[in-house]
Structure 1
Amino acid sequence: MDGIGVAFHAILAIMGGIATIGGGTAVLMRWLNPYRKMRQSVTRHGELLDRDQHRLDDIDEYNRVMGGCMLALLHHEITGNDVKKLEDAKAKLQEYLLSR
């Protein structure tokens, strides 16, 4: 009976060790999960900010081109003769619209 008791205690010790390691792993995963989620969230926000910056740069370029065209039209309307500036503004606008 002594051999069976030792074997039974050994099996219980092994099972207890497995349960302890499994519980420790579960606790560790619960601790690390918020960090992992936060890291993914920060990465996603960085991607969104980069995309938004690109859109804002496009809007700035569009506003510069449109401002130049409006200025050329205004100058032509006031002076009545500056056709060269209108042609340059048209070329810039055409180049901008075709490159998009």
Structure 2
Amino acid sequence: MPKTLHLTLTYHWWDEISVGRKTAEYRRFTEDWRKRLNGLQRGDFVVFHRGYTGRTLTQRIKDIRVITGWDLPNEVYDYFGKPNEEKFFEIRFSQE
């Protein structure tokens, strides 16, 4: 049975996903996120909530990997305050 991860996003990031420009979501590599992502795998679902509205998008997870701040896309890198050596979870998903 596939698992489902729910993520609340700002309108900007939700819109980027909805038009297909963003195909991965990023979260800091913390104990809380390790627990939340534990056991998720390819084929599970991620449901993106547009703020605290009723609008959602559902995508299938392609993979989850750990990257450094250097590997973040430019706009995301700036959003996180140029984190350089910090680690992040990259949750890649397929557009469906």
TM-score, length basis structure 2 = 0.17
Structure with greater Cα Rg: 1
Larger helix proportion, structure 1 or 2? 1
Higher relative contact order (CA 8 A, sep 6+): 2
Larger strand proportion, structure 1 or 2? 2
